[in-house]
Structure 1
Amino acid sequence: MRILCSIMSVVFFIALSFSAVAQEISVRASVTEATVPVGEPFEYIIEVQGSVGVESIQLGRLSGVEKRGESQSTSVSIVNGKISQSRVIAYTLVASTEGKLTIPAATVKVDGKTYQTNAVEITVTKAAARAQNNGSPGSNTYPDLVFIKPVVSKTKLYVGEATTVIYKLYERADVTNVVVEKDAKPEGFWVEEIDLQQGRSSVPHTTEFLNGVLYRVYTVKKMILFPTRAGTLTNGAYKLNCDALLTKIKQQRGRTLLEDFDSFFGSLGKKVKIDVVAPEIKFEVMPLPEPKPEGFTGAVGKFALNATLDKTKVKAGQPIAFTFTITGEGNIRSITPIPLTLPSEFETYEPKVQENISRQGGIISGTKTIEYVAIPRAGGKFDVGSVSFSFFDPEKGEYKTLSSPRFEIEVEGEAGLTAAVPMAERQAVTKMGSDIRFIKTNADLKYRPTPVYQSIWFYSSFLVPLLALLFVWMRKQRQEKMEHDVAFARAYRASPEAKKQLKTASDLLKQNKQKEFFAEIEHAILKFIGNKFNTDDLALTKDELRSLLQEKGVAPTITEKCLRILEKSEYYRYAPASETKDDLNAIFSDAEMIISELSKPKK
């Protein structure tokens, strides 16, 4: 297993290295706020895309701006086998003078090459007055930090013309638990929803600068609207609820803000509830112009018509099929079947309609196929006139009419009546012993085994996956706790690490390296106590160590034995050892016993 892990690690880092070579490196600078008051901290961010090998950063001369702090974060992601790397360095700056200031380009050395960022301009205003905030953060709104921006392809259009509405969520922080509180339900529109990937975390995001500020952008909703009536229409309200991380650093400034890409500073803040509402959009819908062509049924868009006849020469009583295919862009679903008029000698059935709709690229397109089946009941030559289909082209603002070719059909003979099938003569029931599944009169009763659904294996097939899910959930809970709870993580790793050190001490004892043996024993016990009780100060006096163990409820006998071993270990590290082999083995056994006793949970 270790060999496999080592091989996988080597392969990963080789792939990472090749990716770093192939990936283009770009460096850019931005600020969290383009306008800041005097004395208020803001973040100046340098983002390196394509590599994490940042060797040095030389900021330009900051005139009128003071540097207060610095933080860094590295990101490596693998999407569809492609590795992307980036490093973000965030500087906390404070402006001291009013007016427009320019933060000059910074020089960044990446993988042995030198790059320069762009210069960034900010506007510094008068110091903001500090107002007391008695309300809860969750009741406030943060329109400059988390907001929805609807993007519309057109707001002035004709009845039946398509317009695309995309709702984009802009955020400058770690936003989670995004829930749709009120979905947009436009009235007066035919709505086609465009399916997105489930869950915001699975949707790829982009980055975008607005007013000099860098945002993460997610597409949270996409729909295509076809107005069904003229007048002024709206898209309806769209509202989201989400959790956002407010940082303590920003709260101390007198106004609560979210950090840019707050995952770097998340451990310093707390989550609040935020309501995000998209502004309504007004559409000016124009009626279709008059006069409308004859046979127009309301189709709007760009279309083509194709008409085919499967046979032009048939016998009376045999079916023939007329197929009309409409292809193009527009509301394919709203197109009604093209009427087909045939001579009275033809019996016509209801048309069979099939649709193939595509929403690729946010455009509704596809085909609608209308198939008429008809049966000629008399012989002769018949002329079927062309069929017309009219639609309105909104780009040109005019109607267009498409016509199919004329069809000539030659029918041979007269349609005859179908011959009647003669009735079979009634016969008596004959008992047969060779028929399929014949009745057996002398069959023996046999034992039927327990049905599968009543067996223990059947129920186990349900129970095992549930237990597996429970195991995965518990493992994930423990992993999350270890990532966020330092004390728990240290205590969890204390015993395994101590056992490894004791194994090393045992090897040293076998090699008769007594000084190294005592040093390893001392280090194992002190490190175990530090991890177990989450303390980093291991340079404790004898009395302080005794007080710590008593405070943690350790038995006095264990405490005294621990102190004696530490005293001996410290002494023999610097003085000649005079202990016998049996004494050393006893000391090792006592160290094992101490770590074992301290590892036991409290009763």
Structure 2
Amino acid sequence: MPLDRKASRSLLAASAFLLIALSTAGSALAQPEAQIAVNVEPRMVEAGGQLIYTIDAVTEGNHEIRLLREPGFVAASFEVVGRMTAPQFIIRNGNARRQLTITYTLRAPETGTYRIEPPVLQVGASRFTPVSLDVKVVETSEMPGITQNRNQNMYLEVTVAPQRDPYIGEQILVAYDLYVDTRQTRVRPRPPSEPNLDAFWIEDVSEQIAGRRVMVTVGARLLEKTPLRAFAAFPLQTGEATIDSMTAPVVRGGFFGPTSDENLMSEQLTVNVKPLPPGAPPGFYEGNVGRWSFSVNADTTSTRVGAPITLTLASNGRGRSSRLRFAELAAIEGTRMVNHTHDTKREVRDLAIYGTRVEKITLIALAEGTLTIPSLELSYFDPELGQYQTVASEPININVEAGELPAEPQAADQDVARVSRHRGDIAAALAARLRPIVDDTEATAYTARAIFTLPAWWAATTVPLLGILLLVFGGPLLRFRPTSRSAKNAKKALWEAIHEHFAQASEASNSPASGYGALIGAMHTYFTNMLGVPPGVVTEGELRPHLARHGASPETQAELLAILAACNAVRFAPRETLSHKDLAALTARCREALLRLDAELTRQGHKPSAAAGPVLAILLATGMLLAFAPQPLYAETPHDAPSSETTENWAQSAQLWQTRAQAEPQNALLLLNAGTALAHDGQYALARHYLERASLLRPTHQAIKANLDIVRQIVAHQATSARTPLYSEALEGWRFGAAISTNLLLILLSTALWAIFLALLARRLVKATWARRSATAVIWAAALTIALVAAGGLTRYALTHDANPAIIVSAAPELREGPSTYASLHKGNTRPVAGMMVHVIEQRKGWTKVEIADGVNGWMQAHELLGL
């Protein structure tokens, strides 16, 4: 049925109205979420110098970003000498993101302080106006940090932003940057020192600048700027505050070329911290410094009597949310407060600390009617504006219908007591499984100490080592012994007599038989005086064993016996006729053979086997003297600890055993007793310290291993952190190296040395082939054992020498971002607990930098740790 004209117009108007409403609602629902930031660098510049002003706008989605109004450069007398626009559109994982960056290059006017008014940007249908920025223009001579380093090719500079006197509690940025001339190649900075910023509460924001390098112009030079460290610092008191200098080691050169190390140091700066100005609003808290938003919301607008109502007070902004406080909520008629919680979050953005504080207040409606939550206010001081600001919420009306009131809450918190009691029961049950205290006689025995502290071990090692040296090198030493003058004269007279016999043989030209007799006389003189051969046995048959026993070579033996046979043949066989020519040749052969024999005997000297018996006797006597030498005296300590255990007075027992363990720090059993008594007394962190030290000395001792494992379990149960390892990951190698027993290596070393010494001695004294071969096999096996001992010792050293373990003994340890009580506490699930073993990285002025997990490190006070 066709519609009339009036109805058509009405329908058309309704459609248009609906379309406009839908469009308005759609645009309202599609309000973009944008981040707008402006920055100018530097904040202090010399007259006529250049500075960079940057606008950075980011929005999620495909919303258009437009610049509606330029920043107030003209009004501030700045000259724009360059402008660059960089739009970006990024799609990642299906999410669109649009970004617009506009960079202005400005020239500074005359000296003075100028404020650059912010631009106005439109993102979608919304408009945004960021903050205004102040720039101070000064003369060149007034520029801070201009020193002789500026004229060098490399220097370290510290900057503070904003470049004005900060207010107490205001957030400032302290940055340490390395500047290097671009013409310098292969310059590598190493980790810098930690500056002392005790006058500030500091938050480390260096992660945001790690790896960034930019080119900057300083004067007429182009430099590469490398950020090293950056801190968000909050002054803690008014007056002068010192920003400490930083030292950064730098390596120049390398890559197959020469290298050089340099230490660069920044300047020390002083800032004047101003107090907050007068005129604070009523109820203002001095910690509310920054720029904050504030909102109050209720989870319902309609409820009934007895039902809970949750109010959420939220604030977020730039500053320390942990210091932010809301005004106390006054009692609201017709309600009862049953719960009040708060939570703070911290975020690092654009090298600044941003935070959120949320408080949740739970109320119970007690009466019907309209419940009004009054307007709440948050007052804070904005340091950039230098003014106090107050943000107020709107009143909230809640309709309360009839209902039933709940019972009054009980005051006792039984759940907390139950949890604490359960944790204590577990610790007590584990402690009951500890091995008992070692008997006092055994704990103070001579063998309870570390083996390298025992004189007996030194004796057992020194004796075979000296014996090996004497057996191997004793021959050359004896061979080069000094000879007395009388012995030299006697030998000289002997050779004169022998040469007279040779002269007689040479002159017996008419009677060869007498000449051969003279040769026999020469040999007889040498053999009886030098070799001790009886006169009646200087014959061919009797002489050979004497020559062999004294070490004459087979060639020399054969030559001498042949000469003796030839002489005897002529002497005792008159029919043998020999010419004078044969006599002269035989005389020369005899002279040469005797000289060669004398050289062989001199070169050989006394055989080591001849001195083996006296050497062994001397070494054994030395070992007995060392083994039974007076033992080192330790401090006298009271020995009434066992009576303390019988009465279960573990506190007294722990104190006594600690005193004795400190007097004998190398006694593993005293350390074991101290750790066991401390564990029974409930001091589990200190107990672990003593037991870990005992395990380093005796890692294979069963009682030490058992009690240490129990204490580690107790420490794990006592921990309340979400992720609390018993060891730092940096100590994994140290744990493996510490498990290698030093005592076992030293015992094996001593045993192997004795085996080599006795085997060498056997080879000198025993002539049987099978015995000599067995001794050789023993020597090789012992040498292999020594090589394995050396490998084990080197492995232990390589795994443990760089590690520096320590036990946290404080009941409530705190891990901070810097070496100061004003540094912020470490944020994260992995937190230090009593009894945890950590890796010590650095120590400085009562503070220790530790690593408690992979990549998780911070500073603790030195008294909270005990090193191993």
- TM > 0.5: no
Q: TM-score, normalised by structure 2?
A: 0.28
Q: Higher Cα Rg: structure 1 or 2?
A: 2
Q: TM-score, normalised by structure 1?
A: 0.39
